[in-house]
């Protein structure tokens, strides 16, 4: 039976609508999973029921993570947060961690994992990490390559990719400042910013700062990320 993967919903304040980029769903489906979009609100018992129905969770990109999650006040350059997303995704994440359910984070997902596990973020890379010459935030999301990342040899990402260096797309202005206890870097950009993470003490907690949902149809590295996650959700890893 195909694994069922819960996918965190995107939210548009201007249209007051819940929505989804097809790449998240299609990437999972192409890798052999069944994607389902999770609600933006879920009480504790509802979250329990939802997690019993899925085999893994994909945490999507989108809004900035509220700096309150890592004990800071927002700076001027910090983008808008979505309290509903922060609340429900925190609930889903903590419950998934309690049962060691496979989780995979993309962009905001990586930042959220780090914040919830005790790390901190650059609220705005250009403002707080100005010495960086790497362009992390492209004008618009897409599959175009942005910059290179180095994959650390002792990481599961290196085992998956079997290479020390790949070129990734990039669309973010926040990033890991202090890595949370229990997390390890799997890839770093040329400026030293953490671009991928994993938790060695968990069955499967992985996240990348770039966007495989935009280029998995043309990029084998992105397809590998989706396949690896879906395989982990089958319990066969």
Could you give the residue numbers annotated as active site? 107, 211, 213
Yes or no: say if 84 and 154 are a contact pair by the CB < 8 Å rule.
no
Rounded to a whole number of angstroms, the distance between the first and last alpha carbons of the chain is: 15
State the residue for tokens 């100005």. Answer: 130
Sign of the CA dihedral running 47, 53, 59, 62: negative
SS (H, E, C) 151-206: ECCCCHHHHHHCCCEEEECCECCCEEEECCCCCEEEEEECCCCEEEEECCCCCCEE
């Amino acid at each position: 039976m195909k694994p069922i993967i819960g996918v965190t919903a995107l939210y548009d304040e201007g249209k007051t609508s819940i929505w989804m980029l097809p790449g998240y769903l299609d990437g999972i489906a192409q890798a052999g999973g069944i994607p389902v979009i999770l609600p933006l609100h879920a009480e504790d018992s509802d979250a329990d029921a939802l997690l019993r129905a899925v085999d893994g969770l994909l945490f999507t990109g989108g809004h900035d993570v509220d700096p309150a999650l890592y004990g800071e006040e927002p700076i001027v350059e910090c983008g808008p947060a979505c309290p509903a997303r922060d609340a429900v995704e925190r609930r889903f994440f903590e419950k998934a961690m309690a049962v060691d359910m496979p989780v995979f984070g993309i962009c905001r997902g990586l930042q959220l994992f780090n914040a919830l596990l005790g790390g901190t973020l650059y609220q705005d890379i250009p403002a707080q990490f100005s010495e960086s010459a790497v362009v992390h935030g492209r004008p618009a999301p897409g599959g175009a390559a942005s910059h290179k990342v180095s994959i650390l040899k002792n990481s599961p990402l290196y085992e998956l990719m079997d290479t020390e260096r790949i070129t990734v797309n990039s669309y973010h202005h926040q990033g890991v400042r202090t890595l949370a206890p229990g997390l390890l870097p799997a890839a770093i950009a040329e400026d030293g910013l953490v671009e991928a993470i994993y938790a060695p003490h968990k069955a499967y907690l992985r996240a990348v700062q770039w966007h495989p949902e935009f280029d998995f149809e043309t990029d084998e590295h992105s397809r590998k990320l989706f396949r690896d996650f879906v395989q982990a959700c089958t319990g066969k890893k």
